[in-house]
A and B are shown apart, each in its own frame.
Chain A
Amino acid sequence: MYRYDQYDQAMVEARVEEFRDQARRRLEGKLSEDQFKPLRLMNGLYLQLHAYMLRVAIPYGTLNSRQMEALAMIAEKYDRGYGHFTTRQNIQYNWIRLEDAADALADLASVEMHAIQTSGNCIRNISSDHFAGAAADEVIDPRPYAELLRQWSSFHPEFTYLPRKFKIAVIASEKDRAAMRLHDIGIRIVRNDAGEVGAQFYAGGGMGRTPMIAPLIRDFVPIDQMITYAEAALRVYNRYGRRDNKYKARIKILVHELGAEEYIRQVEEEFAHLLSVGVEPPREELARIAAHFTDPPFADGPKTIDRSDPDFALWVDRNTHRHKHDAYVSAVISLKPVGGIPGDATADQMRIVARLAKLYSFDELRVMHTQNLLLPHVAIKDLKAVWTALDAAGLGAPNMDTIEDIIACPGLDYCSLANARSIPLAQRISERFAETGRTDVVGELKLKISGCINACGHHHAGHIGILGVDKKGVENYQLSLGGSEAEDVSLAKITGPGFDEDGVIAAVEKVTDVYLAARADGERFLDTYRRIGMEPFKEALYG
C-alpha cells in the first residue's frame, strides 16, 4: 500500500500546524465561529449535538495495522474508547474537545493519516472498491489512480470553495462495490480494445434530497490525461454550479439543469484548453505510486476449506469473497453484531483487527462503504484461525449483505441535522430478524436507514430504504423499495405513507413476507421486486 515520502509527510505536518494556529485563534476569540467554521470543516471537525465530531480520512479505505492501532489509541485518548466507521470508508469520533483536536491530528500525522478535506465544500476523501487489489474480477488495482487523485485534490488552490462538497469514487471492475454512480464524479478504470488503460468518467450522481444516478460523460480518458479531465470537470462546476441555494448546489443539479450533453460540451472545451496549459502530473508519478501497490508475496496453499464446523461454514459462505489468488480469500469483518450499532468498533476491537491483519493479511486492512472492515488477503489455510479470533471478539457475525448488515447514519443520537433516530431502529430490526430466523431465509437484502433527507445512510440505494422524518414533532419513518448502489444501480421508490418506529419494523417484515411468497428460484429480494413491481408490496402494507 501507499507510504508517504518526505513531501507527503511535510504536507500533513504543515496542515497540523496551520490548524493548531487556527484553533488557538478560535479559543482566544480572535476568530468568530463563522470564520472558524469553514477552517475546522476543512480539517474534518464538525460541531454536533453534544460535542465536536472528528472525521478522519482513510483514503480509498486502505490502512495498515499501525494505522488501525493509532485509531484505537485516539479513541481512548481523546474520545470514549470507540469510533464509528462510515459509508465513505472513513472513521468518525463523536466526543472530541476542540482543545485536543490539533493533538489528535498530530497523532494521526505520525502514522501518515489526516482529516484533511473530510468535510467542507471541497473535494472529499476519494473512495474505492474495498476489494481493490484482491478481487478476482478487477481489470487493474484502482488505488494508484485514487492516490493520484488524492494528491491532486489535496489543498487544491482553485477548488477549496466549491458550491458544495464533492465526492469522487474510483473503481476498476464491472462490479460496482463503491456506489460509483452515486458520486459527484465516478471513475471506472478500464482497458480499451488496444489494451490501454483509461478512465471512464461519470458525473452528477448523488443521494441527498434529490437523488440522481450519474450519467456517463466520457467513455475513455487516456490515463495520462485523467487529472486534466478531472480538473476540467471541476472547473466547469466551480464556475457554474449554483450558489444561490445550498440544496441545489451539488454538481448533480448543474448536470441535470444543463443537461448532460451541454455539461459534457463545456467540460470538453475546458479539457482541450487545459491540455494546452499542461496541468497533468509527470507520467512517472503514476508509475511511482503504482509501485506501492504491487501484490504481496502470495504463496500457494490449500484451496479447500474444512466445513465440518457449521458456524464457521456459514461465516465462510456469507463473509468471504473470491480472491484473485486461489489459495486466498478476502474476509469481511462484520461491524453489525445483532443489536449493535452499525459501524461502531471499540478500541480493543480495532487492536484485535490490527493484530489479525499483521498476522494473516500482509498487514493490510480495508474499511468498506457498508461500514464493515475487511482483511483483503487471508490464506485459506488460516481462515479458521481468523474466524475463531474474530468470533471471540464479537466480530464474527456471519451477515454480510443480509438484512442484519444495515447501513445507518448516526441519526438523532448524534447528528444536529437529523430528524429521527437511525441507530435504535437498526438495532431493533437486526434483533427481530435474528430472533425469528428470518435473516437466513431471506438471504441478500440490503437495508439502509437515514435519519434525515441528507441521506447519509444511503436509503435511496437500499433494496429496502428507510428515511426518518419529523412529523409534527414525532419521529416518522418512510419506507422505500428497489434501490441499488451496485452495477445495477437504481433509486428506491417510496411505498406510501410513513410509519412510527414499531410500525416500520412490522412493515419491513410484511415486505419480506411478500418477497418470500413470490420469489422464484435464486431471486434476491431486489430481483423479485423488479419483476413483480410495487403493487403487491403496497397491497400488503396498506391494503
Chain B
Amino acid sequence: MGNARDLGTSPDEVQFRFRDDEPVDHGTVTVDACCDQTNATAVRIEPGDDARLILPFLYRLALVEVNFPVFGDGRGYSAARILREAGFTGELRAVGDIGIDQLSHMRRCGFDSFAPDKRLDEDAARRAFATWENVYQRAADARRTIADKRHEA
C-alpha cells in the first residue's frame, strides 16, 4: 500500500468487490493524464469527465475508478455503462459518497467494486445488492429483463 498516489483509492478502501482477480494497486491518474501517458493502467473519472476519451486506452487499463463526490450527481452511472458497452472488462470501481441505496443501481450499470467514503453496514449492503429480483431494463449487467422472461419460448 506504500505506492505514492495523489489520487485514487487503495484496495484496502474497497468494501465490496465482485471479482476474483487480484486488485490493482497502481497509481491512478486523471483522464487527461491517461490520454497523454502510455503506461497508465488505472484511471479516475470525475463527474465532468467524458468517459469516451479513455475508450482508445481500455486495452491497457485494469482499473477505472468513477468518483461520486456527491451521491446525487448521477453522471457516473452513464460513464460506467459507456465503458461496459465499449467492452471494458477490468475493474470498475465506484468511489466517494455512496450509500446503501445506490448500490443496486450502480451494480446494474457495471460497477463491480465499491469504495464508499464511509464504510457501509454489511448486512444492509447485502440486502441492497439483492433488492431487485427482477429488472425492467437492459443494462450493463446483462441480466435477463422482465420482458425477456415474459416472452421466452
Contact = CB atoms under 8 A, between A and B. Distances in A.
Interface stretch (B22-30, B34-42, B134-142): B134-142
B19 interface: no
For A5, A160, A288, which residue has the most chain B Cβ atoms within 10 angstroms?
A160
Contacts of A282: 147-148, 151
Interface string B114-134: 000000000000010001111
A161 B134 contact: no
B73 interface: yes
A124 to B, nearest CB: 15
A278 B138 contact: yes
A158 B75 contact: no
Contacts of B13: none
Contact of A7 (B73, B131, B138, B146): B146
B108 interface: yes
Residue of A22, A38, A161 contacting most chain B CB atoms (<10 Å): A161
Interface string A209-252: 00000000000000000000000000100110001000000000
Interface of A: 5, 7-8, 10-11, 14, 18, 21-22, 35, 38-39, 121, 151-152, 154-162, 235, 238-239, 243, 273, 277-282, 284-285, 288
Contacts of B149: 7
Interface size class of B (residues with CB under 8 A): 35 or more
A88 to B, nearest CB: 21
Which 10 residue pairs across A and B have the least CB separation, nearest first? A161-B74, A157-B108, A157-B105, A285-B147, A281-B147, A7-B146, A279-B138, A284-B151, A158-B77, A151-B136
Contacts of A159: 74, 77
Given A151-B147, A282-B148, A160 B73 contact: no
B146 A14 contact: no
A288 B74 contact: no
B78 A161 contact: no
B32 interface: no
Nearest to B139: A157
A239 B148 CA distance: 28
Contacts, number: 97
Contacts of B145: 281
B133 to A, nearest CB: 7
Contact of A277 (B85, B99, B136): B85
Interface of B: 47, 50, 71-75, 77-79, 81, 85, 99, 101-102, 104-106, 108-109, 127, 131-139, 145-151
Given A35-B99, A277-B85, A239 B78 contact: yes
Contacts of B73: 161, 243
Given A277-B85, A282-B151, A157 B146 contact: no
Contacts of A22: 101
Given A151-B146, A161-B71, A235-B78, 10 more contacts: A5-B150, A121-B74, A152-B136, A155-B135, A158-B77, A158-B139, A162-B74, A239-B79, A273-B85, A285-B151
A157 B138 contact: no
Quick one: which of A238, A239, A278 has the most chain B CB within 10 A? A239
A162 B75 CA distance: 8
Contact of B136 (A11, A18, A238): A11
6 contacts: A151-B147, A152-B136, A155-B136, A161-B74, A239-B79, A243-B73
Contacts of B131: 14, 18
A453 to B, nearest CB: 23
B77 A161 contact: yes
Nearest to A120: B72
A158 B78 contact: yes
Contacts of A14: 131-133
B15 to A, nearest CB: 18
B138 A238 contact: no
B110 to A, nearest CB: 9
Given A161-B77, A239-B75, A282-B148, A152 B137 contact: yes
B150 A285 contact: yes
A70 to B, nearest CB: 24
Given A7-B134, A14-B132, A38 B77 contact: no
A281 B127 CA distance: 27
Contacts of A152: 136-137
